[in-house]
């Protein structure tokens, strides 16, 4: 039987717990620093951790993606109703199907429709969502987010073609 070296690196997606706050915060901060260097840093690491622990984890459906043994959190997704509020990966694990695995968990929880906001300049994220069947809707001037960065709303509807 052929061996698959990547099998040890199979991603596991599970529901987040309050104990994941530190790891989720680390992923969020590392991902934004690497992928969105143009964004202003509006909050300290401590403030971000308090927001993750006090708002994101208790107020959303959150999944974490883990790799390795012992398992380490390398990504997370947060869903509020039908809105995908967050999907972030550690920069060193991108392009391995981890984002797709997290998005699949989100789609299982919201199988009819999803929407999300992404910064217009975030070309890689926009391409990711478009590959997964999302279509761009309203383009905004940035007045609806605290970074004042122009964004676009994306939508996905089950069964829709084109």
Whether residue 77 is contained in a domain is answered as yes
Whether residue 122 is contained in a domain is answered as yes
Contact 114, 133 (CB under 8 A): no
Q: pLDDT-derived band of residue 152, with 50, 70 and 90 as boundaries?
A: very high
Check pLDDT > 80 for residue 5: no
Number of domains in the chain: 1
Whether residue 162 is contained in a domain is answered as no
Per-residue pLDDT of 18-37, as tens digits, reads 999 999 999 999 999 998 99
Check pLDDT > 70 for residue 3: no
**What is the share, in percent, of the chain residues with pLDDT greater than 70?**
93
φ, ψ of residue 87 in degrees (nearest 5): -150, 110
Per-residue pLDDT of 123-134, as tens digits, reads 999 999 999 999
pTM exceeds 0.85 for this model = yes
Whether residue 31 is contained in a domain is answered as yes
> In whole angstroms, what is the distance from residue 59 CA to residue 52 CA?
10
Whether residue 3 is contained in a domain is answered as no
Whether residue 5 is contained in a domain is answered as no
Contact 52, 24 (CB under 8 A): yes
Per-residue pLDDT of 59-98, as tens digits, reads 999 999 999 888 999 999 999 999 999 999 999 989 889 9
Q: pLDDT-derived band of residue 1, with 50, 70 and 90 as boundaries?
A: very low
Whether residue 1 is contained in a domain is answered as no
Domain range for residue 63?
10-157
Whether residue 4 is contained in a domain is answered as no
- CATH number for the domain spanning 26: value is 3.40.630.30
């Amino acid at each position: 039987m052929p061996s698959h070296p990547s099998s040890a690196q199979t991603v596991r997606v599970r529901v987040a717990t309050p104990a994941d706050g530190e790891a989720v915060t680390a992923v969020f901060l590392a991902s934004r620093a690497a992928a969105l260097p143009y964004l202003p840093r509006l909050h300290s690491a401590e403030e971000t951790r308090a927001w993750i622990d006090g708002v994101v984890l208790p107020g959303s459906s959150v999944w974490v993606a883990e790799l390795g043994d012992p398992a380490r959190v390398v990504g997370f997704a947060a869903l509020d109703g039908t809105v995908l509020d967050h999907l972030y990966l550690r920069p060193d694990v991108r392009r391995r199907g981890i984002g797709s695995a997290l998005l699949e968990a989100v789609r299982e929880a919201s199988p009819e429709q999803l929407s999300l906001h992404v910064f217009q300049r975030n070309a890689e994220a926009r391409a990711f969502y478009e590959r997964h069947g999302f279509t761009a809707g309203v383009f905004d001037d940035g007045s609806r987010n605290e970074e004042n960065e122009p964004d676009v709303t994306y939508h996905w509807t089950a069964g829709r073609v084109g």
